[in-house]
Structure 1
Amino acid sequence: MRNNKLFIGRKIRDLREANRLTQAAFAERIGISTSYLNQLENNQRSVSASVLLALAETFRIDIADFSAGESARLLSVLSETISDPLFETSRPSLQELKLVAQNAPGFAHALIAAHQAYRRNSEQLASFDDSFGQSVAVEPTPYEEVRDFFHFVDNYIHDLDLAAEDLSSKLRIPDRHPFTALPEHLERRHSVRIDRSSPDEQTLRRYDPETRTLLLDPFSPVSTRSFQVAFQVGALEMSATIEAIIDSANFHSNEAREICRIGLCNYFAGALMMPYETFLASATELRHDLELLAMRFGASIEQVAHRLSTLQRPGRKGVPIFFARIDRAGNITKRHSAAKLQFARFGAACPLWNVHQAFERPGQIIRQLAETPDGIRYLCLATEIGKGGGGFGTPQRRYAISVGCEITHAGDFVYADDMELDNRRRYDPIGISCRICERTNCVQRAVPPLKRRLVVDRNKRGAVPYQLD
């Protein structure tokens, strides 16, 4: 049946290009004809089990990589979009959504963009008063555009990653500390010197192209200063590559282009401080111990957690993890998931998720076994992060980060060693967001789910003043 067929043309093409092989050479390696490979890459034919096995054996990849990834992320966003009551009378089944995500991703993206515009339009109309005649902006915000760009490229930028890895090898990072190697490289290659910024300037980094001086906050941790130097290296050396990536993204505004430019320089900086193959090997050796990885690479725990979420190189993927940063109000300000867990685009995070507890226990890594409504179980880690400095009275930014994986990969994490992974009662029932969570008996529910009808009995009151039909 067509529903069971797997169309993964883009993934096969990405794998071939990552290995720098022509179609003819790639087809020969896995024992098929060039014409068949061309049909696979263009999704004109589904991939067979024998070809999947050949890909796995030849390029040392996990077959599961081909059934998740971009389609899973797109399916998650598409499912949330379709949950809107707007589609109540014509809601497609999950299987239909899977077919759209796999075989017509362009249509799926167009529908998601249209729904985003509809939501923004509705929210602005609801807040109008005497300004009713003004025009309504329906374009996505620049930050939303850039967030979606990184989400749909799997938070992995191949060209930048390879370039950063090559440079880090020449600079002998991490054998040499980044804050030793990178300033030397910046001065030798670009004649840029490092200096201290004024205490009252309140900027992490400021580059003066006239004097070729990079000013850094002297009160920032060494890991932060290393990252800012790496950022400047990327801005100076990778501008052409970054510009080409931005051009291919077709952003709607110059603001989005600039935000993405910063994001890509940040990506390069992380990849330069934590080069792919070395970091992947260390993560395996140290069993994803965030603190040990931070010490080995001269990085912060947040930098390490974020880098773990980018280990998506075709044929050399790391453990599929999710990563998020959340503030005290429950807003998710950074997010990416290579696991099945996908974060909601609208609304706050589930209050039962342990990331909220991190603010109550600063300095600790909090562990949680959790299960989502679809029955998938996860190992969740959370810790509070504080940024600031400069003495008493200086404002501090405080937020929490969350890192985790599906329970099938928990053995790769040192944090799971003494946890009862096989005991179902140890798993907390978490959701993605109240608006799309189907749990009927959650005591922390904030709002009703969009897809369920409410039953209200004024003579009966439970944890919430309604029941779900």
Structure 2
Amino acid sequence: MAIGKLFIGRKVRELRAASNATQSQFAERIGISTSYLNQIENNQRPVSAAVLLALADKFQLDLAELSTGESDRLLSALAEALSDPLFDNYAPSLQELKLVTQNAPGLAHALITVHQAYRRNSEQLASMDDRLGRAVAVETTPYDEVRDFFHFVDNYLHDLDTEAERLAGELGLRDNSRHAVLADHLERAYGIRVVYQPMAENALRRFDAESRILTINPYAPAETRDFQAAVQIAQMHAAERIDAIARGAGFRTDEAVDVCRIGLHNYFAGALIMPYQSFLRAARELRHDIELLAARFGASLEQVCHRLSTLQRPGLKGVPIFFARIDRAGNITKRHSATKLQFARFGAACPLWNAHQAFEAPGRIIRQLAETPDGVRYLCVAIQVNKGLGGFRSQQPSYALALGCEISYAEAFVYADDLNLTDRASFEPIGISCRICERVNCASRAVPPFRRRIFVDPDRRETTPYRIG
């Protein structure tokens, strides 16, 4: 669509009404067809420069005044904002823009305000870049794009999932023979030989296409070695499907496409090792005991939690859960939620959430009954895990895995046993992040919430140095 043109339908209608003219009469006076005037008045077409000049000449009005209608200005401003390269893969029609500005003007204003802030920050960072002589990243990263992609497909990809399940059945994967089956399939189907050999810089896997050798680090945990073999199968078996999904996702950069492919390889590998229907049955039978599920499928706790978050097959859905991986600094490095609880996109998570406590009790399941400000209650489970290879000098980053469900599903989890699910006092108040949490009396608050006034009394000090209005 053309951007930057002027849609002044309301003003033209007002001008015509003031002159007591029909559309036909008015169109004739400014030298255009009646149909064109009708389209202008309904904001289906912008006014041309010739029409603007005719309106100024015939009615002696300031051209600037013609664009003062609120809806018309809003429509033009929204169209301009959406023309930014940031929205390269979205080209709204005029009708879509009209629906937003006419029916949800507050939303349109909010989007324009956000875009303006983005532009200002970009310009400031660009200026800083010139002064410092270095690049400053101001746009969404490829990693963020891919994370959003998985979020908006509900962390479930039907074609990949069902194909991985079909292949698992064909291979006859069993828990006690998975390693041998995966390695044998790679050699028989693709002529790829699996060898185990330490690699530099803590590498887990390396494939040499010329020699057809897949090298896997023998110091990695057994479940990691199996997963890396499954990733190689994904690259060979589902290459076309994965490429079609990644290329069809509308990413803005090739880097995002490449990152997405990695995510899709991992998705296929997880679905191969933990086939959907057998994993769903086991989750129900074991009441979502992640340690028992890990033992049954020869997978890591993280692999199990991640797989639980993908059980969104139409007609055969699992319990809707949230899953996140958090590092010691509070950064959420993986996240998905099929519940009402949605993680903050920016900033740290609520300090009252039990995920943070997991670091204080390594390897132990931490349980929490929690309630968010909207009144929804949850069963939350967290456990600290280490990743990396064995050995004294190897890096072993530590993470907390957080898993949970809305309280109406809690009986399906072994972790709900002996907890009082009916007593409201059993539920701890938590938020999403301090910047958007509306709780006014939280002693753990880090910063005031947006859009709320604060009051400072120099003669009174509580847990925070201000009151929230």
SS at match of 1:322: strand
Label 1:387 to 1:130 Cα distance change in 2 as closer, same or farther (>3 A): closer
Contact kept, 8 Å, 1:124 with 1:136, in 2: the verdict is no
Label 1:108 to 1:176 Cα distance change in 2 as closer, same or farther (>3 A): farther
Q: Distance in 2 between matches of 1:272 and 1:430?
A: 36
1:250 Cα deviation after fit = 1.0
**1:318 counterpart = 2:325:** no
Equivalences for residues 343-358 of structure 1 within 5 A: 343-358=343-358
Partner of 1:407: 407
Per-residue deviation, residues 182-228 of structure 1 (Å, max 9, x unmatched): 11111111111111233534201111111111111111111001111
SS at match of 2:318: coil
Partner of 1:270: 270
Partner of 1:232: 232
What code does the residue aligned with 1:353 have?
A: W
**1:173 counterpart = 2:196:** no
Q: Distance in 2 between matches of 1:128 and 1:146?
A: 29
Q: Distance in 2 between matches of 1:359 and 1:399?
A: 8
Label 1:413 to 1:442 Cα distance change in 2 as closer, same or farther (>3 A): same
Contact kept, 8 Å, 1:121 with 1:138, in 2: the verdict is no
**1:453 counterpart = 2:444:** no
Higher radius of gyration, 1 or 2: 2
Partner of 2:250: 250
Contact kept, 8 Å, 1:378 with 1:406, in 2: the verdict is yes
Contact kept, 8 Å, 2:371 with 2:378, in 1: the verdict is yes
Partner of 1:204: 204
Q: Distance in 1 between matches of 2:127 and 2:410?
A: 49
Q: Distance in 2 between matches of 1:331 and 1:434?
A: 14
Per-residue deviation, residues 390-449 of structure 1 (Å, max 9, x unmatched): 322322111111000001000000111111111211111100011100000000100111
* Percent of aligned pairs sharing the same letter: 58
Partner of 1:34: none
Label 1:112 to 1:248 Cα distance change in 2 as closer, same or farther (>3 A): farther
Q: Distance in 1 between matches of 2:254 and 2:350?
A: 34
Per-residue deviation, residues 96-139 of structure 1 (Å, max 9, x unmatched): xxx98xx99xx999987994894486277269547259897653
Partner of 1:260: 260
**1:279 counterpart = 2:276:** no
Label 1:121 to 1:273 Cα distance change in 2 as closer, same or farther (>3 A): farther
**1:378 counterpart = 2:368:** no
What code does the residue aligned with 2:169 have?
A: S
Q: Distance in 2 between matches of 1:205 and 1:109?
A: 48
Unaligned runs of 5+ in 2: 1-98
What code does the residue aligned with 2:205 have?
A: R
SS at match of 1:378: strand
Partner of 1:41: none
Partner of 1:330: 330
Label 1:108 to 1:276 Cα distance change in 2 as closer, same or farther (>3 A): farther
Q: Distance in 2 between matches of 1:121 and 1:291?
A: 49
Contact kept, 8 Å, 2:122 with 2:138, in 1: the verdict is no
**1:125 counterpart = 2:124:** yes
Q: Distance in 2 between matches of 1:391 and 1:133?
A: 41
SS at match of 2:381: strand
Label 1:239 to 1:425 Cα distance change in 2 as closer, same or farther (>3 A): same
1:454 Cα deviation after fit = 1.1
**1:222 counterpart = 2:239:** no
Unaligned runs of 5+ in 1: 1-98
Per-residue deviation, residues 16-63 of structure 1 (Å, max 9, x unmatched): xxxxxxxxxxxxxxxxxxxxxxxxxxxxxxxxxxxxxxxxxxxxxxxx
Contact kept, 8 Å, 1:287 with 1:412, in 2: the verdict is yes
Partner of 2:307: 307
Contact kept, 8 Å, 2:330 with 2:349, in 1: the verdict is yes
Partner of 1:467: 467
Partner of 1:164: 164
Q: Distance in 2 between matches of 1:313 and 1:429?
A: 32
Partner of 2:58: none
Supply the RMSD in Å over aligned alpha carbons. 2.7
1:271 Cα deviation after fit = 0.4
SS at match of 1:177: helix
SS at match of 1:296: helix
Label 1:110 to 1:189 Cα distance change in 2 as closer, same or farther (>3 A): farther
Contact kept, 8 Å, 2:198 with 2:219, in 1: the verdict is no
1:457 Cα deviation after fit = 1.5
SS at match of 2:248: helix
Partner of 1:391: 391
Larger RCO: Structure 1 or Structure 2 (Cα < 8 Å, ≥ 6 residues apart)? 1
Q: Distance in 2 between matches of 1:190 and 1:108?
A: 53
1:462 Cα deviation after fit = 1.1
Per-residue deviation, residues 352-386 of structure 1 (Å, max 9, x unmatched): 00011111100101111110000111000000110
Label 1:116 to 1:380 Cα distance change in 2 as closer, same or farther (>3 A): farther
Partner of 1:6: none
TM-score by length of 1: 0.74
SS at match of 1:350: coil
Contact kept, 8 Å, 2:196 with 2:218, in 1: the verdict is yes
Label 1:164 to 1:125 Cα distance change in 2 as closer, same or farther (>3 A): same
Contact kept, 8 Å, 2:294 with 2:304, in 1: the verdict is yes
Q: Distance in 1 between matches of 2:123 and 2:366?
A: 39
SS at match of 1:282: helix
Q: Distance in 1 between matches of 2:181 and 2:465?
A: 61
Contact kept, 8 Å, 1:161 with 1:271, in 2: the verdict is yes
Contact kept, 8 Å, 1:364 with 1:383, in 2: the verdict is yes
TM-score by length of 2: 0.74
What code does the residue aligned with 1:330 have?
A: G
1:172 Cα deviation after fit = 1.6
What code does the residue aligned with 2:255 have?
A: E
Label 1:138 to 1:115 Cα distance change in 2 as closer, same or farther (>3 A): farther
Label 1:316 to 1:305 Cα distance change in 2 as closer, same or farther (>3 A): same
Partner of 1:48: none
Contact kept, 8 Å, 1:354 with 1:366, in 2: the verdict is yes
